[in-house]
Amino acid sequence: MDSPLPIYALLVDDDPMILALLAAFLESKGYSVIEAHDGQAALALIAQGGINLVITDWVMPRMDGLDLCRAIRMQQHSSYVYLIMLTSNSQEDGLVTAMQAGVDDFLGKPLKPAELGARLHAAERVLALEARLENHNRKLANAYEQLSRELELAKAMQLAMLPDRANLGRIRFDWMFEASSYVGGDMFDYFSIDERYLCFYVIDVSGHGVSAAMMAFSAQHLLLSSAQQIAKTIARQGGDLGSAAEAMVAGYNRHFMKLKDTSLYLTMIYGLIDVASGKVALVQAGHPPPILVNPCGAVTPIGDGGLPVGILHNAAYEAHLVELTPGSRLFLYSDGITDCSDGTGKEFGQQRLQEILVHQQRASLAEVGVNLGQALLGWRGDAGAFNDDVTLLCLEYC
């Protein structure tokens, strides 16, 4: 059972007899009591802290009870201060004025012990409730602070897992990434399979926050550990990159379905590149279509949908084949870009994205990412932070 909440009472009145009667009654209840003869003296005592109950007269010299109550409510206190007004004024407009000043309860004059006891019981209940709420809020604040630290660490870990901007053979890679929360459900990577082939992908786990990020970490680990399996699959398919990419994504889907115990799923663009020839096989699994920009500025969206990973156990996937020529660029992105909305709810859209990519054709890949990020922030305007994870993966065939 909780111990009674200690009451530290301040009595404020310019009548010594009233102060003596109140002090005797409150001390008999176990309260700690101090006294003041006007509002200014009371404020000085309250500033020292610890007081949680004030019983004040209405009419006093220098600072009356109303001004005292207003001043107390304007201050910041470590705990709630319960205010009782002593008054012989029973007019409704006067009581309303007092409540607007912050008074919690009233005690009529002349003093009646039974009424005073009832008012104090009400004060005890309110102060006990306020103390419990304060303790609960303190625990919540501590938990939130710990969670924030852990999320900041998770964000740093996620950023550390993103690949370095690099050249792999004749392929130059760059990217732009912005999580909508501490951690995001978007993930991407690129790596060498052997001296001839590269693998790259972008995934977007449904939902946001920690659960999506954990699923993205799991998917990245699975994809990154598959280099030897990819090489064997390409060899088994007789060098057919399209068949190999289809087989790999179908295998990922089966593995994902075995592990999945949530309603989450993910969309994906998965690609294999023959570095020597520039041939690329792309599998679109429910992800927005990659955009190919050739050296002449022609734009070609690739793919028309496909089933996300994690929906059906035996889902089949189709590869799209393209051939890069020197100067060609391939852009993979998440729907956080095209679905980015302005203050009116209008989306950024694929057409606007394509126009920017063509307009930035002579810019470096790094500049493309920076300029696109600025365009998206400008599009958001007063709407604030991104409402979804934003990812752009850029490839250039050199």
Confidence of residue 147 (pLDDT cuts 50, 70, 90): confident
Query: Residue 208: is its pLDDT beyond 70?
Result: no
The dihedral built from the CA positions of residue 98, 102, 104 and 108, taken in this order, carries a sign that is negative
CA distance 207 to 308: 14
Task: Quote the pLDDT of residue 159.
Answer: 73
Task: Quote the pLDDT of residue 182.
Answer: 59
Rounded to the nearest integer, the mean pLDDT of the chain is 89
Q: What are the residue boundaries of the structural domains of the chain, listed by start?
A: 8-137, 162-397
Task: Quote the pLDDT of residue 213.
Answer: 72
Tokens found for residue 8: 């530290």
Mean pLDDT of 198-227: 81
> How far are the Cα atoms of 17, 88, 205, 298 from residue 110, in angstroms, in the given order?
12, 8, 71, 92
Predicted confidence (pLDDT) per residue in 273-311, tens digit:
999 999 999 999 999 999 999 999 899 999 988 899 989
Task: Quote the pLDDT of residue 85.
Answer: 92
Question: Range with the lowest mean pLDDT among 64-73, 141-150, 171-180, 364-373?
Answer: 141-150
Q: Which tops the pLDDT comparison, 3 or 151?
A: 151
Task: Quote the pLDDT of residue 188.
Answer: 92
Q: Using alpha carbons only, what angle is made at residue 144 by residues 141 and 150, rounded to the nearest 5 degrees?
A: 145
The answer to whether 297 and 361 have CB atoms below 8 angstroms apart is yes
Confidence of residue 260 (pLDDT cuts 50, 70, 90): low
CATH superfamily of 8-137: Response regulator (3.40.50.2300)
Task: Of 333, 184, 328, give the one whose Cα is nearest residue 268.
Answer: 333
> Which CATH entry fits the domain spanning 162-397: 2.30.30.220, 3.40.50.300, 3.60.40.10, 3.30.56.10?
3.60.40.10
CA distance 211 to 350: 28
pTM > 0.75: no
Tokens found for residue 267: 């969309």
Which residue shows structure tokens 């919690």?
A: 104
Q: Do domains 8-137 and 162-397 have the same CATH topology?
A: no
Mean pLDDT of 60-75: 91
Task: Quote the pLDDT of residue 308.
Answer: 94
329-333 and 390-397: which strand pairing? antiparallel
Query: Residue 385: is its pLDDT beyond 80?
Result: no
The answer to whether 165 and 174 have CB atoms below 8 angstroms apart is yes
Query: Residue 337: is its pLDDT beyond 70?
Result: yes
Mean pLDDT of 342-354: 93
Confidence of residue 1 (pLDDT cuts 50, 70, 90): very low
Tokens found for residue 300: 């070609």
Tokens found for residue 145: 């602070």
Task: Quote the pLDDT of residue 31.
Answer: 93
Predicted confidence (pLDDT) per residue in 24-34, tens digit:
999 999 999 99
Task: Quote the pLDDT of residue 88.
Answer: 79
Strands, E, within 222-318: which ranges?
Answer: 266-274, 279-285, 291-293, 299-301
Please report how many Cα atoms fall inside a 13 Å half-sphere around the Cα of residue 142, on the Cβ side: 6
